[in-house]
Structure 1
Amino acid sequence: MPVEAKPEEELEKKEAPPQEEEEEEEEDEPGVLTPGADGAKKKKKKKKPKKKKATQSDPPRVGLSKLFPSGVYPTGEICEYKDNNSWRTTSEEKRYDERMAMEDPEVTYNNIRRAAEVHRQVRQAARKFINPGQSMTEIAEYIENGTRALVEENGLECGIGFPTGLSLNNCAAHYSPNAGDTIVLKQEDVLKVDFGVHVKGRIVDSAFTLTWDHTYEKLLEAVQAATNAGVREAGIDVRLCDVSAAIQETMESYEVEVGGKILPVKPIANLSGHSINRYQIHGGKSVQLVKNNDQTKMEEGEYFAIETFGSTGRGHVVEEGECSHYAKVADAPHVPLRLTSAKSLLKTINKEFGTLPFCRRYLDRVGESKYLLALNNLVNQGIVRDYPPLCEAKGVMTAQFEHMILLRPTVKEVVSRGNDYRLGRTRDR
């Protein structure tokens, strides 16, 4: 609403000397001199053109340093601690601990957030890209090429955290295509997409499931709800068994109708979430998916993958099929190797992957060939561990969802959370 001016205000306005309007500088051609008031010539300044803000390409290939030139990356979803831990949010002591953690180059959250942002952008593109009719190799390479470009891969400084998992249907985990793989994604398939990114050994491990068949949407809903329940329950000083109980209770509250039969959704009892250490995907603590008596507590500063797997079958997986996943054992024994090829391969593994998981396609990529005998020798000697595909019974469907949580001194940060974790298909219908 306009307000009327008082008489004295009007008087002040009348008496006030007129202000000279500032002249805008015109842009001249470089090197052009114009006459000044005193007849002398002066050079006018040239306006600098505005820099265009970098945007992500399709497929994603623009490195994150161009999208975030400040070097500061987005924070994940912040959740305040509850119950006996609620005091941490306002504690001056814990705020101080938070600042110290930020300044520690070995702990810095920014490395984790950079890896998480790479994961978000690559998986958002992948969800649009993946469709029936594509080969497993085509899908894996799309994800891996995007990850390498966005994280700006640099040896063991930053790169892929572990092989891209593309487990289908009854296979729950640890399948990635080897060279010559001919499997093609079908309309009726249930596909688990599990891939990792690391920055200075800080691994972000997150997964989702896609289906193009309405039949199994409740299975996906159950497993995603179980992951969210685990994320909610997790916290500093929380016992691992309590997180497991919340996951199981949530998942088992769902049913799936398949061919007129009502099937309960069961958590896969011999799979689990896990803590993560630098350059080590499994950090020593396991978050099981069924009730147990593990009284181990989550601790301040720890970093967990809350990872849940559900099944329409018995809820148990076994090793089955050709192996693709491997990793050097962190505390591998010093064993004299007789095979020259094994010695050579171990040097390559140490140089290219360290203790990060790798797959056979990655060995192909760095120029290794005819290495299976040497690789099996390293496995037999306990230097490298193999991770064959983990499968349910034939005809059973499995699903997986996973998020990363960082137990900061003052809050819990779900670093991998994004707005792309909608259920079901890659696109809304």
Structure 2
Amino acid sequence: MTDSKAVSDSGLTVSDLTQEVKDVELNSAGEIDSGSDSNKEAQTAEKKKKKKKKKKSKKKAIAQTDPPTIPITKLYPDNNFPEGEIQEYGKDFTMKTIFNKEEIKRKEKNEDNFQALNDMRRAAEVHRQVRKVAQEYIKPGRTMTSIAETIENTTRLLVEEKGFEAGIGFPTGLSINHVAAHYTPNAGDNLVLSEQDVLKVDFGVHVNGRIIDSAFTMTFDPKYDNLVKAVQDATNTGIKAAGIDVRLTDIGEQIEEVMESYEIELNGKTYPIKCVRNLCGHNIAPYVIHSGKSVPIIKNGDNTKMEENEVFAIETFGTTGRGHVIEEGVCSHYAKNADLTPQQIGRIPLRIPRAKTLLNSITKNFGTLPFCRRYLDRIGEDKYLLGLKNLVDSGVVQAYPPLVDIPGSYVAQFEHTIVLRPTCKEVISRGDDY
């Protein structure tokens, strides 16, 4: 076969000749005369003009504003949201699945599984954009209330808050120094962030009850760098260790080994960095932030295994203190007891009438999602403290007071949400920041 680029006697290629034939055919149909140079130029100009018109008709991709004001669904109109970081399982798992490829493919294509995953990806993209705002906004001198409201209002905007379809996953945690978790400001709290504080920022986003739970630590003095590095390293170790059929105690053992390999010098004294032994990661279920299994951050002998399609929050806490927290301080975090059915709740006597109306409001607005006092204020509830206490005392609502190590110590935290997909694990909340 003759190559299409072979040269003819006239010095033209076969392609050139073919084009001439086409031009003559056009001319016989009353189109541009291909033999005229001026007509050739006109033809070329006309083609360019058409190309330009086509380019103009293309719609520009929507870009996020700075600060972000455009809901995430408007940035991804096809509703396919960004995939998280993909991590492969170990070689042992790969060998187990090699004979079951068809079943795995079927599971990966399962519509319900994909929809749940896509909801989490949407929530995760909201989380990434909100925390970027938070990281720029948070500075010494800001009040805890202004920080919490900035995070929450941005979340509501970007996720397009709509009842149980989309919104805040749980109250914004802004725990400082020896307070490890479960602090958010109540109304009238004027606590101000200082330059010497170690701040844990822990907030959640949900879409159709699929909660993204992710946290990071901010400091403003480089002397805390080793503490932050230790906890981030430990969390990433836990993520790497997690997987289908992995025993929970084995994950804790690896986290503990990495965390406690670090130390920190503060004011001329060296402190070992310890795991907070009685804090851990956890399962996440639809509309339930703490569900079923706990992921330890020390070797604890729990031989329970992780399973396919489970969602986990892998979080670690490192401290310069004793490595054990207790409940202390004014409570701000609450959640309706997810273990009780409506029938069981209906049989529990509530001695204060206000408790009944408050319970109806909690059920209507939050369901089993955690809430705080500021959220009750926001929906118009007032004079509710006695009723809330009655709900807690009766076990209908659970209280989550601040968790603290010894005063003078410093606690750091990092956390990501992961999904154990059939063929890989996806770190849904991973971003460029952590």
What's the TM-score, normalizing by structure 1? 0.89
Unaligned 5+ runs, structure 1: 28-44, 422-429
Please give the per-residue CA displacement for 1:279-314, whole angstroms capped at 9, x wherever unaligned. Answer: 000111001111111010000010000000000011
Secondary structure at the aligned position of 2:322 is classed as coil
Q: In the alignment, which of 131, 136, 141 is matched to residue 128 of structure 1? A: 136
Q: Which residue of 2 aligns with 1:283?
A: 291
Q: In the alignment, which of 94, 102, 113 is matched to residue 92 of structure 1? A: 102
Q: Which residue of 2 aligns with 1:304?
A: 312
Secondary structure at the aligned position of 2:291 is classed as coil
* Bigger radius of gyration among the two: 2
Please give the per-residue CA displacement for 1:219-256, whole angstroms capped at 9, x wherever unaligned. Answer: 00000000000000000000000000011000000010
Q: Which residue of 2 aligns with 1:382?
A: 395
Shift of 1:354: 0.2
Secondary structure at the aligned position of 2:288 is classed as coil
Q: Which residue of 1 aligns with 2:369?
A: 356
Are 1:161 and 2:169 an aligned pair? yes
- State the alpha-carbon separation in 2 of the partners of residues 53 and 107 from structure 1: 24
- State the alpha-carbon separation in 1 of the partners of residues 360 and 81 from structure 2: 34
Are 1:113 and 2:118 an aligned pair? no
Shift of 1:14: 5.5
Shift of 1:80: 1.0
Secondary structure at the aligned position of 1:56 is classed as coil
Task: Report the residue type matching 1:94 in the other structure.
Answer: I
Secondary structure at the aligned position of 1:164 is classed as strand
Q: In the alignment, which of 211, 220, 223 is matched to residue 203 of structure 1? A: 211
Residues 156 and 200 in structure 1, CA contact (< 8 A), matched pair in contact too: yes
Q: In the alignment, which of 218, 240, 245 is matched to residue 232 of structure 1? A: 240
Secondary structure at the aligned position of 1:281 is classed as strand
How many pairs were matched up? 400
Task: Report the residue type matching 1:327 in the other structure.
Answer: A
Please give the per-residue CA displacement for 1:96-121, whole angstroms capped at 9, x wherever unaligned. Answer: 11111xx0179631011111111011
Greater helix fraction, Structure 1 or Structure 2:
2
Residues 108 and 114 in structure 2, CA contact (< 8 A), matched pair in contact too: no
Shift of 1:51: 3.3
Q: Using a 3 Å threshold, how does the CA distance of structure 1 residues 47 and 309 change in structure 2: closer, same or farther?
A: closer
- State the alpha-carbon separation in 2 of the partners of residues 155 and 353 from structure 1: 8
Q: Using a 3 Å threshold, how does the CA distance of structure 1 residues 398 and 236 change in structure 2: closer, same or farther?
A: same
- State the alpha-carbon separation in 2 of the partners of residues 135 and 11 from structure 1: 76
- State the alpha-carbon separation in 1 of the partners of residues 385 and 254 from structure 2: 42
Secondary structure at the aligned position of 2:335 is classed as strand
What's the TM-score, normalizing by structure 2? 0.88
Q: Which residue of 2 aligns with 1:10?
A: 12
Q: Using a 3 Å threshold, how does the CA distance of structure 1 residues 25 and 419 change in structure 2: closer, same or farther?
A: closer
- State the alpha-carbon separation in 2 of the partners of residues 358 and 51 from structure 1: 41
Unaligned 5+ runs, structure 2: 24-31, 33-42
Secondary structure at the aligned position of 1:71 is classed as coil
Deviates more, 1:167-176 or 1:106-115: 106-115
Please give the per-residue CA displacement for 1:384-407, whole angstroms capped at 9, x wherever unaligned. Answer: 000000011111000000011100
* Identity across matched positions, percent: 58
- State the alpha-carbon separation in 2 of the partners of residues 326 and 52 from structure 1: 45
Task: Report the residue type matching 1:157 in the other structure.
Answer: E
Deviates more, 1:60-69 or 1:410-419: 60-69
Shift of 1:46: 11
- State the alpha-carbon separation in 2 of the partners of residues 392 and 217 from structure 1: 19
